[in-house]
Every structure is written in C-alpha cells, then in structure tokens.
Structure 1
Amino acid sequence: MSTVFEGYERQYCELSANLSKICTAAASLNGERKKQKISEIKAGIDEAEALIRKMDLEARSLQPNIKAVLLAKLREYKSDLNNIKTELKKLVSGNLNPSARDALLESGMADALTVSADQRDRLMISTGRLNNSSDRIKDSRRTMLETEELGVSILQDLHSQRQSLLHAHGTLHGVDDNVSKSKKILSNMSKRMNRNKCIISAIVAVLVLAILLILYFKLSK
C-alpha cells in the first residue's frame, strides 16, 4: 500500500467526520451562525475534493492489483462526499419558510442524517475489508519477492556451476591435446628406434661378412 495514499486517506476520514459533525450542528442553527457553519462546510468540501483528486492520482500510478483496491476505496469516499454535499444543499436552501424548515429539520434532515450515518458505517466496514485485502496483497507481493530472490539465487548458482563445468571442459580439452602430442612424440621416437635398430643390424651384418671374408682369404693362402 502507498504511504502517500494512506496519508491522504487519513486526512480525508478526519475531515469527513468533522464535516458530518458541523452539518449536524448547523441544522439546528439560524442566522449568521448557520451561515458561518455553511461556509466551513463549503471550505471543507473543497478540501475533501482536493484530497480525493490526490488519492486518485496516487492510486492510478501504482501497480494494477493495488490500484484496483484503492480505486474501490475512492468510490466509497466519493459516495460519502456526495452525501455531505446533499446535506449542504438542504442547509443552504433559501426557498423554505420557517415552518417548512422546521418540518425539514424534524423529518427529512433526521432521516438524511440517519442514512448518512448508516452509509458511513458501511463505508467503515468496506474500508476494513479493503484494508484486509490490501494486507493479503502485501503478503502475496512479499511472497512473490521472496520467490523471485530465491529464483535469482538459484540462477546465480547454476551460472557458477556452468562456469566451473566450462573451465573443467577447457582443462580436459588441454589435457587431451597434451596426450595427443605425447602420443605423436612417442610414435616418432619408436620409429627412430626401429630405424636405428635396422641400421645397427646392417652394420653388424657388414662387419660379420667382412670378418668372414678376411678369414677366408687368410685360410686359403
């Protein structure tokens, strides 16, 4: 929930309760005192409308799931403000004669105030339910963030393991290259040894043949 919205909401609830008290008090007044109360109510309504506009702008700037909850609250507050405006219209009506005004105060105004009180009670109940929904949304959002953090941690671990595997693969590839080079060297050495054996064998054969020839010529004389 936006702390900015909650601040505006707190101000509106206090202002609405104060306006309701002033309307109730003004209904039993006459003359200048009543005009003064009416002026206070008008100023309060202007202030309440400004707060509702601020809450509306703040709510529309938030995430969709939170925005839906806050806009539902705003509808209740706008309905409450409309009731206060209706009470104000009845107070400022200048076409009523004193007897009609008295009758209005005794019947219509009492009924209107009763209805307004009932609506305000329903508003408080609805606000409580919306606050509970907001708390559940907060819990869900917190769980989502924790899950996201866990997912990021797992991805980091997997990335680290991938880097280790790539490094090990590179090391094994280097070892394989070294083994291949060693095989080539050993093969070349083996070929040279075989060639040297052939040369030595040929030399020994020539020497033996030379010795035999020498012995033959010596014995033949």
Structure 2
Amino acid sequence: MSQVFEGYERQYCELSANLTRKCTAASAVDGELRKQRISEIKGGIDEAEALIRKMDLEARSLPPNVKGVLLAKLREYKSDLNNLKSEVKRITLGNMATREELPESGMADALTKSADQRSRLMMTTERLNQSTDRIKESRRTMLETEELGVSILQDLHQQRQSLLHANNTLHGVDENIGRSKKILTAMSRTMNRNKWIIGLIIAVLVVAIVVILYFKLK
C-alpha cells in the first residue's frame, strides 16, 4: 500500500475522532460558545475534505489491484464525513427551544446510530487492512517467484553456453580426427606402394642372381 495514502489516512482518522468529540461538546453548550465550537468543527471538516481529496488522487495513481481496496476504504471515509456534516447541520440549526422539544430518546437513538456506524466503519477498515496485508503477501510471493524464475533462466543460459562451448570443442575434435584419418590413409597408401616397390626390387635381384649363377655354372 502507498505510504502517502497511509499518512493521509492516519491524519483523517485522528481528525474525524477529534471532530466527533467536538460535535458532542457543541451539543452540550449554547450561545456564542456553541457558535465558536461549530466554527472550529467546520474548519476541521474543510481540512478533512482536503485529506479525502488527497487520498482519492493518491489511490487513483496506484495499480488497479491496490486502487480498488483503497477506493473502497475511501467510500467509508466519505460516508463518515457526510455523517459529521449532518451532525454539524443539526447542531447549527438547533437552539434551546428545539433542544427542549427534541425527545431525549431521539437524541440517544441518533448518538447510538452514529456510534454503531462508526463501529462498522472501524470493522470495515480492519477488514480492508487485512485484505491489504494479503495483497502485500501475494505480491511478495509473486516477486520471490519472479526472482526464482530469473535465477533459473540465468542458470539455463549458463548451461546453454557450456553446451555450446562443448559442442564447438567436439566439432574441433571431429575436424582433428578427420585430418588425422586422412594423414593415416595417405601414409598407409605410401607404405603399400613402398612394399610393392621393395618386392619388385627383390624379385629383380633374385632373377639377376639366378641368371648370374646359371651362366657361371654353365
């Protein structure tokens, strides 16, 4: 996950919790103090909207598998911010008379509903964080597999080079054997020719000796 997004997310969660506390405090006061609290809350909401816009831009710049998870979280944060805006609007429009007319049970239900929604938001965020961790683990496994594949390809390339070198060496040996065979064949032919010449010379000498002995004896 993007560290930039996580930084914005952490700032938003802290700001949202602070604004919630301020809304609760503003509901308990009247007059100028309430107006002051509401003004502070509106300033915080503007800051929260700016953080959400930054998170949206950062999420959309990331790869699709990560972007989908972050945009889902962002929708929850936008819903949370809309609830804060509604609460501020209710506080702004409220006055002492409306507060007296407002049933205590209705206020309690509203606060309970807001607390339940915030609890669901936290659970959803936790599930999304778990999904993000699984995505990180899958990505790490994919990178390790890719590195292993690259290592295997490098080993295969080295083995291929070794085989090519051995093949070239064998071709050189074959050429040397071929030349040696030709030389041996030529030597064999020369030896055979010399044998015939020597045999012919011996035959001539034998005939000459026989002729000489014949004439001497005669």
Given the two structures, how large is their TM-score scaled by the length of structure 2?
Answer: 0.90
1 CA distance for matches of 2:153 and 2:175? 33
The alpha-carbon distance between structure 1 residues 103 and 136, as it changes in their structure 2 partners (threshold 3 A), is same
* Secondary structure class of the residue paired with 1:147: helix
Structure 1 partner of 2:183: 185
Q: What is aligned with 1:196? A: 194
Give 1:114-125 correspondences, 5 Å limit: 114-125=112-123
Instruction: Pick one of 138, 141, 156 that aligns with 1:140.
Output: 138
Give the alignment of 1:20-169 within 5 angstroms. Answer: 20-93=20-93, 98-104=96-102, 106=104, 109-169=107-167
Deviation at 1:74, TM superposition (A): 0.6
Instruction: Please list every run of at least 4 consecutive aligned residues from structure 1 whose deviation after the TM superposition is greater than 6 angstroms.
Output: none
The 2-side partners of 1:180 and 1:15 are apart by 88
Measured after TM superposition, the shift of residue 156 of structure 1 is 2.0
1:23-79 C-alpha deviation (Å, 9 max, x unpaired): 111122222222211111111111111111111122222222222211111111000
Residue 112 (structure 1) shift: 3.1
Which residue number corresponds to residue 18 of structure 2? 18
Q: Which whole-Å CA distance do the structure 1 matches of 2:50 and 2:200 have between them? A: 115
Following superposition, the deviation at residue 106 of structure 1 comes to 4.2
Unaligned runs of 5+ in 2: none
Q: Is the 8 A contact 1:28 1:105 kept in 2?
A: no
The 8 Å contact of residues 19 and 44 in structure 1, kept in 2 or not, is answered as: yes
192-201 vs 171-180, which moves further: 171-180
**Matches of 2:194 and 2:102, distance apart in 1:** 132
Q: State the shift of 1:107 in Å.
A: 5.8
| Cα shift at 1:207 | 2.2
Q: Does the aligned pair in 2 maintain the 1:24–1:113 contact within 8 Å?
A: no
Cα distance in structure 1, aligned partners of 2:197 and 2:60? 97
Q: How many pairs align?
A: 218
Distance 1:149-1:16 versus aligned 2 partners, 3 A rule: same
The runs of 5 or more residues in structure 1 that have no matched partner are none
Q: Matched residues, percent identical?
A: 74
Deviation track 1:139-193 (CA, whole Å, cap 9, x = no partner) reads 2222222222222222222222222222222222221221111111111100010
